[in-house]
Structure 1
């Protein structure tokens, strides 16, 4: 009898799954910890001590030990994201299906918070591509927005909508990722508490919810577009059975993703439609449990129709010129206002933004640059972390590690500046945020809601 407290009937439910090795699975849970892995931000090159490279994601690396990410300024600067290794397989899928695609694409991450797969998608696409990261649960939107702001790109929109609302955007997206809510058995080693919530009844409930989410969102995928479906569950009801249902009900075509035997990933086929799926088992891969698949839509479910935006803002060209000064390559952006805030998004996404503004509840669009007060710009935190800022026109103050932690805690900074005005506070050349340097003090403008609260040990 194994010591690990798996739920009743759990191992029995997996006994017939292709590639499942019960003894190896039990051993991995009893005798090994979940590996720590990070994914580097390709837009913010930094010198980081990393371990072995991820076999299915070039930017992914295993760490030999888990450091205190909270007290690493480069983490707060968005130089990397701490992400579970198996989930980075989505990068491999995206790059495979896009290898011969030259036209810009619009990508949706439907269940996006906290932002791991959204930042991954953002790294895998180009500036002319658009990422819409949606989170259904309102309370989870802020962490998604914060993580994408750290990543620094301007071709991103964050929304807070139900899949049915997005489904009304017929044929709008070229790629949709649905990392579906699931029973969570793939996280048992990383989060043993998840075992208390697992049951066969919950698996069936998740299966029904997954079908509802997929049915609601599929109209938004265009013909010849790709659906990437993933879960952190081992249950075939939530995985291969869903693939059979998708192929039968919506005439989707399964896409076989090439993998290497040494990766340890188990390739499966669904019972009825022989749709390809990819299973990750701890002990066979260096990562946690995951199921991933890719399907292609072969039917046309209609078009959104012609859209003319009659709500264009009348904004001063003089003010736009003031904002432009703060951006690198300013002519490549479309500028607009939300209340008093100026924002910028890649010019190629202007029409898409107008459509999304009309149909969805948006929480972040491009990069929030700041507010104009006369001839001065009060810069926003998003601008500081972005890769589009023109650093030639702003003051910069390089901090030591201890000073950076003081800044990130919103403590008084032990610093004697010789210049005055708004300054980017940087660590190893990477922006952390803004401070205003005054003759007798430094005003720390790091956002209160994301400051470090833990004590530094």
Structure 2
């Protein structure tokens, strides 16, 4: 590549300015808006270098930026592509498409490299996740996943075929697309399909265990983008009386627009700070609590967290989770369900929170550790509990 070394210097400048206080994607967008000399190809290559640099986490931080980035590229790419000006000599002859083999080769050169130094708080990861392949998955950009909504199966597949966009299928209605796929103008997002990670979609398997023969009163209490609300609407075969809340007014405004596009009509939608006690006029057959968390199962998409995340943040999130679950439990009906979900792999945010719920009035029906790293997807935790008092 003609400008590889220039791109490397630009990436070093950017990473020197970046402090992790905002998502890397947002920082890069702002930086390139202020430095308009970079064309679209320049921005793509420089961004690739920055993201690769952070995928090494806190490993090998004693090395220079250029050396560390050379190692990161070697670990992140299945083949050298355009980067042979940076990655040269013996390293090219040692290239292998398997990330584990590339990782082993680098460890021979740099023995201090390990899964523990790449992933922060490695010891806090649940034993139910296979730690080595999980950590190695962070050198691979996850795929883009969509869930086809009922009745649009034929349309979505035919549109993708017409645009020559390759995909993998996960029955019954999940598709994995290359991460850079542009589908916004090709498909009617939210009407025909929902952009939603594969593991997030698979929480629907627990939703199905709450089925009854009567309409379900469902509260999605930490709705965020509303993906779980749409999943419940489409997954539960009996009418859903949907209540939706979130802390942020801006999120609620976006949810209203999204639900309108999706043809979903919630019974109630409101803002609520669930770290404080709330007063609601009803109880629910099912409360979905997709709790705020570290997001440690999604850092393949935001690898800057591998570099900037600190252990203190786990305590912050477990505090939120404890308060939120305590405040929503009174609104779960007798024999009703709480579906507790995080996109974290840390025991403290998952099994430990469920253990506290079990110490009260809740009984676990089923728990799943969604190991997305085998499918180029996020990793998540979900536990379905039933109220027995």
TM-score (norm 1): 0.54
Partner of 1:180: 291
1:141 to 252, 258, 275: 252
- The aligned runs of 1:385-404 (5 Å cut-off) are none
Q: Which residue of 1 aligns with 2:193?
A: 80
Quick check: 1:69 aligned with 2:183?
yes
Counterpart in the other structure of 2:131: 22
Is contact 1:167–1:219 with CA below 8 Å preserved after alignment?
Answer: no
Can you list the C-alpha shifts for 1:116-139, whole angstroms capped at 9, x where unaligned?
Answer: 111111112356321112111112
SS at structure 1 position matched to 2:122: helix
* C-alpha distance in structure 2 between counterparts of 1:224 and 1:232, whole Å: 26
Q: Is 1:34–1:190's contact at 8 Å kept on the other side of the alignment? A: yes
Distance in structure 1 (CA, Å) of the matches to 2:323 and 2:121:
27
Partner of 2:57: 6
TM-aligned CA deviation for residue 11 of structure 1: 5.3
- 8 Å Cα contact 2:142/2:377 also seen in 1: yes
| TM-fit CA distance, 1:208 | 0.8
Report the Cα distance in structure 2 between the residues aligned to 1:230 and 1:288, rounded to whole angstroms.
Answer: 13
Answering whether residue 378 of structure 2 is matched by residue 288 of structure 1, we say yes
The Cα of 1:112 is off from its aligned counterpart by 0.7
Residue 305 of structure 2: aligned partner: 194
Aligned ranges 1:32-43 → 2 under 5 Å: 32-42=140-150
Structure with greater helix share of residues: 2
> Structure 2 unaligned runs (5+)?
1-52, 59-116, 161-166
Which residue is equivalent to 2:168?
52
1:169-213, CA deviations, whole angstroms, 9 ceiling, x for partnerless residues?
A: 376110001000011111110111333552211101110110001
Kept after mapping to 1: 8 A contact 2:276/2:323: no
Could you tell me how far apart the structure 2 residues matched to 1:65 and 1:198 are? 24
- Give the direction of change, closer, same or farther, for the CA distance of 1:285–1:70 in structure 2 (3 Å limit): closer
Q: 2: CA distance between counterparts of 1:65 and 1:187? A: 14
Q: Distance in 1 between matches of 2:168 and 2:267?
A: 30
CA separation in 2, counterparts of 1:281 and 1:128? 31
Q: Deviations over 1:201-226 (max 9, x none)?
A: 11011101100011111111100000
Counterparts of 1:163 and 1:154 in 2: how far apart (Å)? 23
Cα gap change, 1:48/1:66 in structure 2, threshold over 3 Å: closer, same or farther? farther
Consecutive unaligned residues in structure 1, runs of 5 or more: 257-276, 300-457
Map Cα deviations across residues 348-373 of structure 1 (whole Å, 9 max, x no partner): xxxxxxxxxxxxxxxxxxxxxxxxxx
CA shift digits 1:375-409 (9 cap, x unpaired)? xxxxxxxxxxxxxxxxxxxxxxxxxxxxxxxxxxx
Give the number of aligned pairs: 270
3-state SS of 1:292 partner = strand
Q: Verify the 8 A CA contact 2:284 2:336 in the aligned structure 1.
A: yes
Q: Which has the higher strand share?
A: 1
Q: Are 1:242 and 2:353 an aligned pair?
A: yes
SS in 1 for 2:155: coil
- Flag the structure with larger Rg: 1
SS of the residue 1:202 aligns to: helix
Distance 1:127 1:149 in 2: 20
Runs of 4+ residues deviating >4 angstroms: 43-46, 164-167
In the other structure, the counterpart of 2:231 is: 120
Rounded Cα–Cα distance in structure 2 between residues aligned with 1:191 and 1:231: 16
CA contact (8 A) 2:341 2:383 kept: yes
Deviation at 1:244, TM superposition (A): 0.7
- Relative distance call for 1:45 and 1:52 in structure 2 (3 A) is closer
Quick one: distance in 2 between partners of 1:107 and 1:230? 15
Task: Tell me the CA shift for residue 44 of structure 1.
Answer: 5.1
Aligned to 1:225, the other structure's residue is in SS state: strand
How far apart in 2 are the matches of 1:66 and 1:34?
10
Alpha-carbon offset, residue 162 of structure 1: 2.6
Contact 1:113 1:143 in 2 (8 A): no
Shift of 1:242: 0.2
Instruction: Please show how residues 130-279 of structure 1 align to structure 2 within 5 Å.
Output: 130-163=241-274, 167-169=278-280, 172-248=283-359, 250-256=360-366, 277-279=367-369
Query: Structure 1 residues 131, 37: CA separation in 2 closer, same or farther (over 3 Å shift)?
Result: same
Partner Cα distance (1:171, 1:222) in 2: 9
The 2-side partners of 1:20 and 1:102 are apart by: 36
Helix, strand or coil for the counterpart of 1:186? helix
Give the match for residue 431 of structure 1.
none
The TM-score normalised by the length of structure 2 is 0.63
Q: Is the 8 A contact 1:53 1:61 kept in 2?
A: yes
1:282, distance to aligned residue in structure 2 (A): 4.1
